[in-house]
Chain A
Amino acid sequence: MRHWHVVVAGSLLPLLAAGALTGGPAAGPLHQETRAAYDPSEAFPGGEATSRGSTDNTNAFSHLSANMGFAKELDFKIGNAIFRRQWVTAPSSTKSADGLGPLYNARACQRCHLKDGRGHPPAVGSSDYNAVSMLMRLSIPPQTEAERESLASGRASVIPEPTYGGQLQDIAIPGLKAEGRITIIYTEETAKLAGGETVSLRRPAYKITDLGYGPMHPDVMMSPRVAQPMIGLGLLESVPEAAILALADPDDKDGDGISGKPNRVWSIEKKALQLGRLGWKAGQPTIMQQAADAAVHDIGIGSYLFPNAAGDCMAKETVCLAAPGGGPAKAPGEELPKTLLNLVAFYSRNLAVPARRDPQDPKVLGGRALFHSTGCASCHHPTFTTGANPPDPHLAHQKIWPYTDLLLHDMGEGLADHRPEARADGREWRTAPLWGIGLTKTVSGHTYFLHDGRARNLTEAILWHGGEAQQARDAFAALPAEDRARLLAFVNSL
């Protein structure tokens, strides 16, 4: 059975808004920090946790928070080993690492978060290269009153696709069929820049073939996601909620065209709604929950937060539900024991942000000014100070430079996935942190950006910005080539 879904089908936006080519930075509202002088702490974007390790090799994102102290290095290293650990099918002689799947995307965390860096879409035209560092989220609009209520209360962020669940798993344990395969077709489009230069943007359309368990729901919504870089997550988790909410302006009361909306998602631990911070749509409240969610959905490993030995199996996937689990008899869903989940979460909170390489290079400083004057900094909020009582005390009171407001913004039709997640609608995405982004090539060997890796470099990524970011995007496109180079030099210096 073949099944086609075109996720991105919106009409082409005018790629250059009229009036944007009037020369010089756009006349957007000046950000308060536009003319702020360079602050020496910008060189260490993760505060005292910033890594001083090498940034010229693939380990640049794998260093530990520099200020954790030797004692905590023990937890970090064990967490790293679990992150790297290859899970096997239950039952096996390796009791401590069985329970894989039955349906899964990867056998180890590290397999998608390659070198703790950014994932990528499958290579174009390569049939044997599976989508291992990118996956496809699935859901449907609410069908019943109960489902509507569940979404409205925030207890559920999505209604899973009835047969395939919340995500497509493209691998299965022996004897089971995988759920399907993702195929991407790109269409090239042309965008123009000031000075006559043109850039080709590739617009993806997704289809899922080889469906293993029958047709999908006719109203299925899909959202492709590449793995996020792992750096600085504990610092983002430690930013006080009030500091984030202070930037929110969901109804754009100040009229600057930038809303900034907090996501509110269900915390399994607190049994309450909490600010969403992590993930492409800020769909997770904490790193602990994010890690447990990834374990159960991506690897098929249950934990106390998601005690499902069968991972993302749905009721119709009976052979999947019947497969043996790997947890202990007294808690069969806990294939990943709480102690180990805690260690993985600690590791995930403490991959250090690298020190900036040459923050005071004149070209970089020029780009820094343009980053503010074009309006990028309106959403890519430069700095926060972390709170007093984060899960890891050494991450408290740190002045950090993540370049995100951790809020949701309408990014326009071009980037829309039309798949809501909690309070995020089908056009909204969380502002992506920019720290470390200039090291993507070094760590991951590519420069594919945005949630589905469609952008092949930073220029393309910027040009895909629409909606609330349209004005800033147009201001960038209108810059003379040398200023665009300065702005990119700044972003690459982060």
Chain B
Amino acid sequence: MPRLEGICRTLVFAGGAWCAATAAAFAAPETSKVVETYADIALAGYEDSLKTAQTLKEKIDAFLAKPDEASLKAAREAWRAARVPYQQTEAFRFGNKIVDDWEGEVNSWPLDEGLIDYVEGPYKDVTSENSLYEANVIANPKIRVGGREIDASKITKALLSDVLQEADHVEANVATGYHATEFLLWGQDLNGTDAGAGHRPATDFDPANCTHGHCGRRADYLRAATNLLIDDLEWMVAQWKPDGAARKTLTEGSEADALVAIFTGLGSLSYGELAGERMKLGLLLHDPEEEHDCFSDNTYNSHYYDALGIRNVYLGRYKRVDASVVSGPSVSDLVKAKSPELDERVRKALDVTMEKMEALVERGEGGEAYDQMIGEGNDAGNQAVDAAISSLIGQSKEFERAIVALDLKAVQFEGSDSLDEPSKIFQ
């Protein structure tokens, strides 16, 4: 069960009072060191994501070798564990092009499940203009994409990534990544805003006692999707190694550009992506489909670790899966050197967010899934989600103040010719 580390909270709580009193003692760290910490945390986070994905693969191989409810459960647990470090790396999106360009194949959501496998329920009764929404590649060795017949007789990584992913340029055609794997492990969640995740039986992967047909191809799909995920994570780990492109882009560009990249990731993930698309929309609509890890009902953890990832980056401290810690000079230190009060405000805002996220985790672990929390009429659940959204918005505003304090605003819009003063932008 995820818990906010006690030590973090103590540090933040006590640190604020302490640093306000000794402001003059804070010298700014070298920005290059701050950027180095950031890249080190990215590397550690992607390494942990890779390691947990490799464990997932082992569990999936064991499950496919002997498909029963126990081995399926072990695979599902490995999937949940793999989400822990990965979600924390989402703070590296938005600021780093290399991550943004890569991310779609790894974590795209939501997906038209019918592209991959059988589906049931109201979903079946719609005439779709997405010709692939019920292509069901597991059942069909030949499918048509964009009017052309595709040979899908062998389910391979290349079929998934080069043919099916975003086929016909339709974003809902998600064939790869964590959520495709999640769908195969859990199946559709047909419970609406009632309790329960997907209930796919282990026999869906058992050629000897096959349910829903095509068990061999379903196993091939799960294997290929998992192997592709590992390839993708290996590639991203390499980008953050000392000679990796993602690290070099940051260290070889201007220091100001690197700091803008860091804060863009923190602000965009907090505000638009997490508070907005993943949380506010679902709450507005009370729609169980608007749930990020919807097949597994793991959404509250997914949101929690996103928020934790933001905090890691700001504080320059990441607790790895093996409990060791990567830390160093941080953007927090830079802000503190300019304004201890502001740094304290940012830390406090991050602290509030973690509390609100923890409340969602507690509800989730207590048996109230995220799609129930956003359900119509569940006032207490709705309020808990809304409180987390408000805290994310609150911390984004503090990030904006930090950007001002570090004189980074002009850097963001360098080169465009506006009649406006750049300083107006964040007011």
Contacts and interface: CB of A to CB of B under 8 A. Distances in A.
Asked if A pairs with B, the answer is yes
A287 B275 CA distance: 25
Interface string A101-145: 000111110110011010000010010111010000000000000
Nearest to B190: A93
A54 interface: yes
Interface in A34-88: 39-41, 43-44, 46-50, 53-54, 56-59, 64, 66-67, 69-71, 73-78, 80-82, 84, 86, 88
Interface in B401-427: 412-413, 415-420, 422, 425-426
A48 B277 contact: no
Contacts of A365: none
A309 B267 CA distance: 39
Contacts of B412: 66-67
Contact of A78 (B97, B281, B419, B422): B281
B46 interface: no
A82 B413 CA distance: 29
Given A96-B286, A96-B287, A110-B170, A54 B97 contact: yes
A348 B128 CA distance: 23
A74 B272 contact: yes
B192 A128 contact: no
B97 A53 contact: yes
B90 to A, nearest CB: 14
A173 B131 CA distance: 15
Contact of A40 (B172, B417, B425): B417
A20 interface: no
Contact of A41 (B100, B128, B284, B416): B416
Contacts of B147: 123, 126, 128-129
A157 B362 CA distance: 57
A81 B275 CA distance: 13
Interface string A389-408: 00000101111000000000
Interface string B251-294: 00000000000000001101111011100110011110110000
Interface size on A, as a range, is: 35 or more
B192 A107 contact: no
Contacts of B376: 95
Given A77-B272, A126-B147, A385-B419, A94 B277 contact: no
B277 A77 contact: yes
Given A69-B400, A96-B285, A397 B420 contact: yes
Contact of A74 (B104, B125, B275): B275
A70 B272 contact: yes
B193 to A, nearest CB: 9
Contacts of A59: 100-101, 104
A50 B416 contact: yes
B289 A94 contact: yes
Nearest to B110: A84
Nearest to B415: A44
Contact of B101 (A40, A57, A114, A123): A57
A399 B425 CA distance: 16
A115 B104 CA distance: 13
B9 interface: no
B222 interface: no
Nearest to B376: A95
Contact of A70 (B100, B146, B166, B396): B396
A328 to B, nearest CB: 12
B122 A88 contact: yes
A97 interface: yes
A108 B273 CA distance: 20
A169 to B, nearest CB: 11
Given A48-B413, A114-B168, A397-B418, A78 B277 contact: yes
Contacts of A100: 126
B322 interface: no
Given A48-B416, A86-B172, A89-B126, A129 B146 contact: yes
B399 interface: yes
Nearest to B275: A74
Nearest to B412: A66
A170 to B, nearest CB: 9
A339 interface: yes
A320 to B, nearest CB: 14
A257 B268 CA distance: 49
Nearest to B266: A70
Interface string B110-126: 00100000000011011
B287 A94 contact: yes
A398 B418 CA distance: 5
A46 B129 CA distance: 33
A78 B271 contact: no
A471 B273 CA distance: 49
A58 B169 contact: yes
A41 B418 CA distance: 9
A68 to B, nearest CB: 9
A70 B129 contact: no
B290 A81 contact: yes
A29 interface: no
Interface string B145-169: 0110000000000000000001011
A19 to B, nearest CB: 40
Interface centre among B129, B168, B172 (most CB of A within 10 A): B129
Nearest to B282: A81
B324 interface: no
Nearest to A40: B417
Given A74-B271, A88-B122, A44 B419 contact: no
Interface of B: 97, 100-101, 104, 112, 122-123, 125-131, 144, 146-147, 166, 168-172, 192, 267-268, 270-273, 275-277, 280-281, 284-287, 289-290, 376, 393, 396-397, 399-400, 412-413, 415-420, 422, 425-426
Interface of A: 39-41, 43-44, 46-50, 53-54, 56-59, 64, 66-67, 69-71, 73-78, 80-82, 84, 86, 88-89, 92-97, 100, 104-108, 110-111, 114-115, 117, 123, 126, 128-130, 132, 171-174, 339-340, 385, 394, 396-399, 444-445
11 contacts: A41-B417, A59-B104, A69-B400, A88-B123, A88-B126, A89-B125, A89-B126, A95-B286, A97-B289, A115-B169, A174-B125
Given A71-B397, A114-B169, A171-B129, 13 more contacts: A40-B415, A40-B417, A48-B425, A56-B101, A77-B276, A86-B130, A96-B284, A111-B129, A128-B147, A172-B127, A173-B127, A174-B125, A174-B126
